[in-house]
Homo-oligomer: A and B are copies of this chain.
Amino acid sequence: MELEKITTQSKLPQKRRFEDACGLAHGLDLVGERWALLVIRELLLGPRRFSDLRAALPGLSANVLTQRLTELEERHIVERLRLPPPANVQVYGLTPWGKEAEELVLAMAKWAYRSPGHDRMLPLNSTAMMLSFKINLDAQAAGDMALRIGFLIDGTPYRARVEGGVFHVETGEAVAPDLAYEGTARGLARRFYGKAPLDQLTESGMLRAQGDAALEQRFVALFALPSRYEPAERGSTPTA
């Protein structure tokens, strides 16, 4: 016997939601879909084009990206912008509130860095690397140090500064920086988190730097990955 399509549904397919006033549940309704937070991450440092996003997120297919961008736009997290001529291209950027998601993104990344299962030597893209500086700057060590840094990573320019123990960064050319780096995200990771000597990285073509060498060393010393969580041995000794 055939069953007829029961269309009790009102109209919209009514996306699956957590029906809950809890902020967390609503947050998951907003950005809980696969890839959503990674798309937001890619936009945190400045607007990007569709194809930039695809290139930055291999594994994310075009149709899914379209869907995520549409959803994020409907939710007022992302907005579609058209750059004025002569560029005249469409880009996606974060709304002011969308930018506030940075805290959330950094909090998750910071937490996950301590995961026992985190493989720190996987490939990394330039946005992820730049954001990692925000997380891993040692504010104590930075003290009142203030400097401007330019980066050209995998072809993308970033201007950054350290000020008041905080690392700021956005896409764009730096003007008269104190230090300038050029190379790959992986090269940066080796330098800042692996503490590899700069000349070794330069030899292998991964990273070049301009500026005072002593300053560069002091700058590198400001960053360190958080310690990893060591799970206790499971000895069936639970605390009451």
Contact = CB atoms under 8 A, between A and B. Distances in A.
Interface of A: 18-28, 30-32, 34, 37-38, 41, 59, 70, 73-76, 79, 81-84, 95-97, 100-101, 103-105, 107-125, 128, 131-132, 135, 189, 229, 231-232, 234, 236, 238-240
B103 A107 contact: yes
Contacts of A95: 229, 231-232
Given A76-B115, A101-B111, 15 more contacts: A20-B123, A21-B120, A21-B128, A22-B128, A22-B131, A23-B132, A23-B135, A24-B131, A26-B117, A30-B117, A84-B238, A95-B231, A104-B104, A104-B108, A107-B107
A216 to B, nearest CB: 23
This chain: how many copies in the complex? 2
Contact of A21 (B21, B22, B27, B121): B121
Contact of A30 (B22, B30, B112): B112
11 contacts: A21-B119, A21-B122, A22-B41, A23-B111, A23-B118, A26-B109, A30-B115, A76-B116, A96-B229, A97-B116, A97-B231
